[in-house]
């Protein structure tokens, strides 16, 4: 469907010959199978916002600083917001040399640039973390959720071994529209939080721990076996993934 | 807070001395730490609907038919909807002898009785399943989602090895407000579906498979490592859990 | 050391030539390397009470009803209390035919006969269990602790997803001298309880759960990684083992 | 409850209007839900001694030297003993720059400062270790137990392959009120020691070994499956955790 | 090489034209690549004694009673000793109907018939077992070792938790030329025995245990990580395999 | 594309306006996204032969006898060959009641009916199996390969511990165009065979074994780590899968 | 068989006394048990091309640069093509110092030198890769396949989460005679590709991912459990192995 | 027993009042429970030769160069042979500074000094290794076996994928009194060797491999599941352990 056809379609809508809903459906149908930009080593997807609600996100590991910078430039040139995860200050320097206005979040290991293509979320996303060592993952989630248009309330160091610290924040927990709960070690926090709220809880196991924490596997397993309802789980240390899900929930109207 | 206090509080709201929001907050605060009924072997939670949006659900395994029937009777007497999962026809007979109107869903292995305490969900929940052998889990999810007040659209036998079967249902996929995607074996379906929609996908691995499917572990791991955004995961065969999450998402306004 | 020597030693104590402490030490030293009774298929240890504070306990699996009954008879004939774990009603019938007064505990799957060789424990042992399906293991622990001379307070169905049920019993938790905390699925209960008390917590993972509970492995791992201090762990479903440890703690003066 | 209320309560006790037990209960009840100090990245818990018998312990990994030093300063300013585990000489330098009198234990990788808030334990804690390579973990346990007020008897290089080395120390083993038994590789030492004593044995698997020792997993599994009664287990290399449990046992009266 | 050639070769030996060693070498060389008897579903190896010191042994599982009986008949007709492992009384009945003189060993689950082709071993093989439940595996080892021509000394129920039971048998342990040590649960017995003797120890883990014994895996891992030298290991429950190794060692001259 | 369009296309080919290659391409393109028959519980794929070279195969587990029979009927009515795997005699009876001429292969647990839609393979497929207990899997592979049009040469009981049995069949091994090598236990056979031939080897691990064979996992791992080139692997016990791959290789021209 | 015998044999062929097929068989039979060159630390196999279709390939890890260079020299001196995998630039320098004309492929980490002993493959091998981080493995496969004589078509960054990128290349997929499909994370790409083509698919899991990707294990398991037929699997990151299999398939006539 | 008693005992033997056997027994009984030298961090065992046939061996990891040197000095001063495994050149320098005549074996990572307390073994130990990368482990075994008094025949690079390389050495294999077979990857070599000889085979899995070799676990599992009789297994990379077992076998008379 070329731009003339798009124009014709919009004319039909204006004239009442086509309902906006029908026109919208036809537009999306086409756009969802739309082209991409081939860089040889990667295919940059310019219609991701249409299909998935947020532009393509760059996962840092396994790409050179140059590759990341080139992809970033294409995304920003496409008019999109920029989010690069699991990255370093060196990569940031390479990106900043090509793209103006990018920010580096050290603890969260992310690079962001807010574009104009992001719709605001409906409510607040609470990001709760069990311990100080979980903060890099929690911040990856928080920064990612913010760049996707969501207000974020951070609630850190509220692990279950000191239950009074968590219960003291009961009001903030129940004010959330969706929660991201981050924990390593025994991963019990989502179960406790899940029993206190009636909105979705996205549990993020972290690789924090030693010995039989097995790099976060124990926390993951605990979260998958939560006796609380309403808890779903993402991969170990996947703060971004949790944010993407929470944001897609928080954008439902 | 007794019922007189509740009445007084409502009078204040009527008179404008208290905003409904404030009154609502105070009511919930109390009710969320409210009593339960102790049967000796179990503590039936009568305020679960207030706290979590749906009454207590009975997980069948490890309880005798008599125990399940007694718990069921208390729940129904409390005026709640009834949902019993992972159960059998024998248990159904024991429950039906005490509670009128219950239904048994053979494939889903669940017992239900719809009460009046369930609010309708906002949109439709699609339950997609990869293969015929995944249907018991898919049906547990579908029946659970329905008893929680959600319209459900079932999309079965759409595994990724015959992609045309899935793509033929593209419109139904994109019509969902939230999707539950059920698959065993290599568990690839949520990744493919997650790339086609922009709403939350709850992935349910099933124990369908043999050899290195390891009772659903392979499907679970694949889902946790999905390259698609927007996919979160529940325990193996946990159709009910997926439904509870999907329903809590579908009740967000 | 023969019985004449024992007599002479006691005479020395009476005459003040030897302190009771010294005599006690010399007696124990000998007895701890003392003989046993060889049944061919088993060696019944008659000095276990001296060495370990409780007579030999019979672990049921892998022994025929006749073998268990014969061992039981030897233990009782030796003047000891009797505890048989992981057993069945059929074995009970075989034991009851040889030994008068034995009791069968169906839920706990144990056989007991209280002898006169058991000293009372110092305080109370609380046995807390997360869910109804954990009761067989919790009861194995409770019955075992009781036959070893300890008062037991049972606190069942207090899983972390309904925190108010647990917090409502705060006083009983803090009244314990030692706690046995039994949980399957995500095994979070010991972490929460461990944060509320300052006495030892023995955590018992159970095989309750499905999918990635891996027969109790997830609960075990969670307990080993507890962020609460004071929590040690025993094998999956090992209610008896937990009781033996709790009892040895509760007999310290 | 402010200090005036505390004073009033004590007056009531003096006047016989309140039993000490009741007053004690009320005091603890309040204090156990008491405030904490929020540093942004951590919440320092000043009532930990009341609730758990020993002040908050600082787990080193995942915190910067500055963060550890700041937390340490707050703890010591609060009048508490200080224990920092899994730390380094660099962190020690940062802490020593702010807190006078701290000690660094190289082998144990811990920093300590003894305060006045520690009660002496009842008896002696034996720390037994199988091999030379297990000493860092054994020393973490020993130093931790000492700072918590317990006399410690160290018994090193007594692995089961040279049984005569262990049996030569039989008297020291049986003199313990509680034992911490540290071993890597096949983890058999707690089973042998557990059969020789009638007091609690806390088994600590270490990551010492290679190949199928799997970083301590084999030792852990062996300890969980000990055929000796009275053996409970903590996480791999968790010397501090074992000390905390042993100390809580050794403080029971 | 046909039988005439064999005769010629022996003549050369008689005449001194060929040393017996050289003749022996040439005979073995040929025989080791010798024919077998093809039953369609199996290829019975009639030169196994020449190549490996004992005739082909029949492993029961996965073969029908008829198949086992037919193979057994061929082996006995070939003039060999018979050993069938992991078998049942039903199979025994089928074998006994075709082969006279076979014996069934119920506990060891083996069928034997001693032929004339077995050389006596040099010394005694001790079979030690930790607990009563390990006896089926220990007996499989003992019976197998006996049919292979070795005197066997059984030492049962000598687990490490009651060390005095083992030490009481020190003389019998040190009298062995090779030991088979059988244990489940934590699998510590071979480590202790290995430290007491200077001859080879074949460790056999058994599937005795529950929970984290993982069907014998824990015992296996412990044995592989034994801190005692001289311990090698076979598969879980592989009593026959241990006997075959012990016998090959015991036949070295 | 309807049949008139197909006719038109063929006319163009006849008239030389379209090359057969181009026409073939266009036909396949359409047919590969062609319809299927929806039975509610399954979607029968009638263009599978076009897309994948063999009609849809029915995997038995998780389907009722009626379901299998109905699917079978549709496949045969569609003019296709029939292959049902992992099935039983009961299912066979249900199928035979609806479909004339089907055969049941007891050892292979398969049902077959040869249609007219199968092209002959180019060479011979050798199916080699290590032991008698591997035959069900080997036969599933052999029967499947035959129904797909391939001549099969069976080579059974040629495990590596009796190398002479394998080397005796060297000529048959090297005569194969592709080999399927089936083995349980240590899974070494594909490595040895892979070193003797220069054509593709499809390795099939079986669940034959005990203890640390872990249901075929050990054989699978060994095959994945084969030091021989040319060996690829399928899931445990997946005889059919190996046959499908071997057949697709054997149909390459 | 010496060279005179080879000559005689060829004369027989010329004279029609022997068919070429028979002569070829006899030659191969001999050559396949032929000598090798012993370097002390390695045995260079000069008849590998005869036996397996391609000369010995040098696997880099665990060998010094000198060792690799020496082996490389012998292979090239033997007149063979050279392929060294998993190597580094340092090793390349050592090899280039001894062997003229070698090439280094940085991304693929391989060294190659094309000899005259390689036959061209029949069709094209498609190498498809899911993401940018999979390229080192994909390139190892592509370079290896090319040096073995096969045309290669590369299809990169076509992961299943953006299905339109894959479907856009449908024609290139179906043009392949055999496919190598490389993917990490959830490893779903081979299942989707396998459903679109009717030729063999060799699936290569990569170690790309984090957390529960377990270094490629998840991708491997997913591929082994593929619901698509025609997919076989090699070890994680084994690009070379996949190429060797694909090449042996592509050389079948 | 002091040295006078020993002298008296010997006099009795001289006078015929005591048989040498009886005297020998009494001497060993005492010596086997004899003292050791306590260095604080280690207890050097000076009677190990009496009890186990070879002096204490120093396992390098987890000990400082100084500690190793001090232990080495005590062992040599005690008149014993010296063997230090898993060590480095740095440690060698520290040892050489204190002990004259020690040798460093780079590939084997061992330090040795041959004393006069070693008896020669009966026959030859063959050490066979599958690949070049296995040589460090193979050499650890070979050097260890030599220092224990055994002639060693090395047979390297004889992996099963090139069977002709192994079969070419058939005579050397069958000349062994005991074999140590070292292999990584799929670990098939011991199975093949075990089928060719009738003496004990000690299998040593190595950590050579990648991906699913899991650091030697696959090779270990394959060896434990060997279909050949006579194969026992030691821990991954445990060349020394295999040598100790082989030597104890080779010293049996």
Question: What's the pLDDT tens digit per position in E61-89?
Answer: 988 899 999 999 999 988 889 999 999 99
User: Neighbouring chains of F at 3+ CB pairs within 8 Å?
Assistant: B, E, G, H
Of C133, C164, C211, the CB nearest to B33: C164
pLDDT in tens, D135-192: 999 999 999 999 999 999 999 999 998 888 898 898 999 999 999 999 999 999 999 9
Give pLDDT, residue G24: 72
pLDDT in tens, F158-211: 999 888 889 889 899 999 999 999 999 999 999 999 999 989 999 999 999 999
Minimal C-alpha gap between D161 and chain E (Å): 4
Q: Does C16 touch chain E if contact means CB atoms closer than 8 Å?
A: no
Structure tokens at B26: 């105070």
Comparing alpha-carbon positions, the chain F residue that sits nearest to B136 is F62
Q: Which residues pair with C38 in a beta bridge?
A: C43
Q: Is the pLDDT at E44 greater than 90, yes or no?
A: no
> What pTM was estimated for this model as a whole?
0.90
Alpha-carbon dihedral of residues G228, G233, G239, G244, nearest 10 degrees?
-100
Picking from A1-10, C135-144, D173-182, G228-237, which range would have the lowest pLDDT averaged per residue?
A1-10
Helices marked H in G115-188: 135-147, 163-167, 170-174
Give pLDDT, residue D1: 47
Comparing alpha-carbon positions, the chain F residue that sits nearest to H162 is F195
Asked if chain B contacts chain F via 3 or more Cβ pairs within 8 Å, the reply is yes
C132–B32 CB contact, under 8 Å:
no
pLDDT in tens, B136-155: 999 999 999 999 999 999 99
Confidence of residue G220 (pLDDT cuts 50, 70, 90): very high
Comparing alpha-carbon positions, the chain A residue that sits nearest to B225 is A235
Q: Does H61 touch chain D if contact means CB atoms closer than 8 Å?
A: yes
Give pLDDT, residue E253: 83
Comparing alpha-carbon positions, the chain H residue that sits nearest to F185 is H225
Q: Does G34 touch chain H if contact means CB atoms closer than 8 Å?
A: yes
Task: Please name the residues in contact with E21: beta carbons below 8 A apart, sequence gap of 6 or more.
Answer: none
Of A167, A208, A212, the CB nearest to D235: A212
Q: Does D159 touch chain E if contact means CB atoms closer than 8 Å?
A: yes
Minimal C-alpha gap between H123 and chain D (Å): 28
Q: Which residues of H touch E229 (CB under 8 A)?
A: 52, 54, 57, 241, 244-245
DSSP assignment of G18-54, as one string? S-HHHHHHHHHHHHTT---EE-SS-EE-TTHHHHHSS
Instruction: Count how many pairs of residues, chain D against chain E, have C-beta atoms within 8 Å.
Output: 117
- What integer is the mean pLDDT of D30-48? 64
Give pLDDT, residue C28: 66
Are the C-beta atoms of B136 and B161 separated by less than 8 Å? no
H235–D210 CB contact, under 8 Å:
yes
Q: Is the pLDDT at G42 greater than 50, yes or no?
A: yes
- What integer is the mean pLDDT of H132-151? 96
Q: Which residues of B touch A195 (CB under 8 A)?
A: 51-52
Structure tokens at F249: 């290789």
CA dist B30 and B42 (Å) reads: 22
Comparing alpha-carbon positions, the chain C residue that sits nearest to A230 is C161
Give pLDDT, residue F2: 46
Task: Please name the residues in contact with F33: beta carbons below 8 A apart, sequence gap of 6 or more.
Answer: B164, B167
CA dist H54 and H83 (Å) reads: 10
SS3 C126: strand
Minimal C-alpha gap between H193 and chain G (Å): 18
Q: Which residues of D touch A213 (CB under 8 A)?
A: 235
Of B161, B191, B192, the CB nearest to G227: B161
Q: Which residues pair with G126 in a beta bridge?
A: G153, G179
Q: Is the pLDDT at D31 greater than 70, yes or no?
A: no
Of B41, B215, B237, the CB nearest to C135: B41
Mean pLDDT score across all residues of chain E? 88
- What integer is the mean pLDDT of E142-155? 96
Q: Does B174 touch chain G if contact means CB atoms closer than 8 Å?
A: no
Q: Does F221 touch chain H if contact means CB atoms closer than 8 Å?
A: yes
Give pLDDT, residue E35: 57
Comparing alpha-carbon positions, the chain D residue that sits nearest to E158 is D227
Residue of C252, C238, C233 whose CA lies nearest to D203: C233
Task: Give chain H as a 3 state SS string.
Answer: CCHHHHHHHHHHHHCCCCCHHHHHHHHHHHHCCCCCEECCCCEECCCHHHHHCCCCCEECCCCCHHHHHHHHHHHHHCCCCEEEECCCHHHHHHHHCCCCCCEEECCCCEEEECCCCCCCCCCCEEEEECCHHHHHHHHHHHHHHHHCCCCEEEEECCCHHHHHHHHCCHHHHHCCCEEEEEECCCCCHHHHHHCCCCCCEEEEECCCCCHHHHHHHHHHHHHHCCCCCCEEECCCCCHHHHHHHHHHHHCCC
Picking from A185-189, A236-240, D2-6, D184-188, which range would have the lowest pLDDT averaged per residue?
D2-6
Comparing alpha-carbon positions, the chain F residue that sits nearest to H220 is F218
CA dist E148 and H82 (Å) reads: 39
Give pLDDT, residue C250: 96
F162–E33 CB contact, under 8 Å:
no
Give pLDDT, residue H68: 94
**A94-105: burial string, b at 16+ Cβ within 10 Å, e else:** bbbeebeebebb
Give pLDDT, residue D36: 66
- What integer is the mean pLDDT of E118-126? 93
Tokens 């034997």 belong to residue: E112
Structure tokens at F111: 């049902």
CA dist F186 and C212 (Å) reads: 28
Q: Is the pLDDT at F138 greater than 70, yes or no?
A: yes
B234–A235 CB contact, under 8 Å:
no
Confidence of residue G2 (pLDDT cuts 50, 70, 90): very low
CA dist B68 and C133 (Å) reads: 12
- What integer is the mean pLDDT of A37-52? 69
- What integer is the mean pLDDT of E174-194? 96
CA dist A144 and F72 (Å) reads: 51
CA angle D167, D171, D175 (to 5 degrees): 130
Alpha carbon F6 to its chain's center: 32
A164–D33 CB contact, under 8 Å:
yes
Comparing alpha-carbon positions, the chain F residue that sits nearest to H167 is F163
Confidence of residue F6 (pLDDT cuts 50, 70, 90): low
Percent of chain A with pLDDT over 70: 88
Q: What is the DSSP pairing of strand H178-183 with strand H125-129?
A: parallel
- By CB atoms closer than 10 A (0-12, 13-18, 19+), residue F226 is buried
Q: Is the pLDDT at H1 greater than 90, yes or no?
A: no
Residue of C228, C208, C227, C230 whose CA lies nearest to C218: C208
Confidence of residue G3 (pLDDT cuts 50, 70, 90): very low
- What integer is the mean pLDDT of B211-231? 95
CA angle C200, C206, C209 (to 5 degrees): 135
SS3 C215: helix
Interface test with C, best of E186, E207, E211, E214 (most C CBs within 10 A): E211
- What integer is the mean pLDDT of H219-229? 95
Confidence of residue A6 (pLDDT cuts 50, 70, 90): low
pLDDT in tens, H8-51: 767 777 787 887 777 777 766 655 545 567 776 777 776 666 66
More confident residue, G2 or D104: D104
Comparing alpha-carbon positions, the chain G residue that sits nearest to B213 is G225
Q: With a cut of 70, which residues of chain C have pLDDT below it?
A: 1-7, 9, 28-36, 40, 46-52
CA dist G84 and E30 (Å) reads: 41
Q: Does H200 touch chain E if contact means CB atoms closer than 8 Å?
A: yes
More confident residue, G16 or H89: H89
Confidence of residue A94 (pLDDT cuts 50, 70, 90): very high
Minimal C-alpha gap between B209 and chain F (Å): 9
Q: Is the pLDDT at F32 greater than 60, yes or no?
A: no
Q: Which residues of F touch E235 (CB under 8 A)?
A: 210-213
Q: Is the pLDDT at G4 greater than 70, yes or no?
A: no
Comparing alpha-carbon positions, the chain F residue that sits nearest to H213 is F225
Residue C114 DSSP label: -
Confidence of residue D37 (pLDDT cuts 50, 70, 90): confident
Q: Does A183 touch chain D if contact means CB atoms closer than 8 Å?
A: no
Interface test with G, best of F190, F200, F235, F253 (most G CBs within 10 A): F200
Are the C-beta atoms of E75 and E43 separated by less than 8 Å? no
Of B162, B194, B222, the CB nearest to G218: B222
Q: Which residues of G touch A34 (CB under 8 A)?
A: 164
Minimal C-alpha gap between F73 and chain G (Å): 22
C43–E211 CB contact, under 8 Å:
no
Q: Does E236 touch chain F if contact means CB atoms closer than 8 Å?
A: yes
Give pLDDT, residue H15: 80
pLDDT in tens, G183-198: 999 999 999 999 999 8
Q: Is the pLDDT at A187 greater than 60, yes or no?
A: yes
Q: Which residues of C touch D202 (CB under 8 A)?
A: 232
Q: Which residues of H touch E232 (CB under 8 A)?
A: 202, 232-234, 241-242, 245
Confidence of residue E115 (pLDDT cuts 50, 70, 90): confident
User: Neighbouring chains of E at 3+ CB pairs within 8 Å?
Assistant: C, D, F, H
């Amino acid at each position: 469907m070329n731009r003339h056809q798009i124009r014709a379609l919009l004319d039909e809508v204006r004239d009442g010959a086509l309902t906006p809903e029908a026109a919208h459906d036809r537009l999306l149908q086409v756009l969802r199978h739309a082209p991409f930009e081939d860089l040889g080593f990667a295919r940059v997807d310019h219609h991701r916002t249409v299909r998935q609600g947020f532009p393509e996100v760059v996962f840092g590991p396994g790409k050179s600083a140059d590759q990341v910078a080139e992809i970033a430039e294409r995304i920003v040139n496409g008019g999109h917001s920029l989010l690069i995860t699991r990255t370093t200050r060196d990569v940031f320097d390479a990106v900043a040399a090509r793209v103006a206005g990018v920010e580096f979040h050290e603890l969260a290991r992310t690079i962001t640039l807010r574009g104009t293509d992001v719709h605001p979320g409906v409510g607040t996303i609470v990001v709760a973390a069990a311990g100080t060592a979980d903060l890099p993952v929690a911040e990856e989630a928080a920064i990612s959720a913010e760049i996707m248009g969501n207000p974020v309330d951070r609630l850190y160091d509220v692990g279950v071994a000191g239950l009074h610290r968590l219960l003291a924040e009961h009001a903030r927990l129940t004010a959330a529209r969706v929660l991201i709960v981050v924990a390593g070690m025994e991963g019990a926090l989502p179960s406790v939080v899940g029993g206190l709220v009636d909105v979705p809880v996205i549990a993020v196991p972290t690789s924090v721990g030693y010995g039989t924490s097995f790099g976060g596997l124990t926390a993951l397993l605990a979260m998958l076996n939560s006796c609380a309802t309403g808890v779903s789980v993402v991969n170990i240390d996947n703060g971004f993934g949790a944010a993407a899900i929470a944001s897609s929930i928080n954008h439902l109207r």
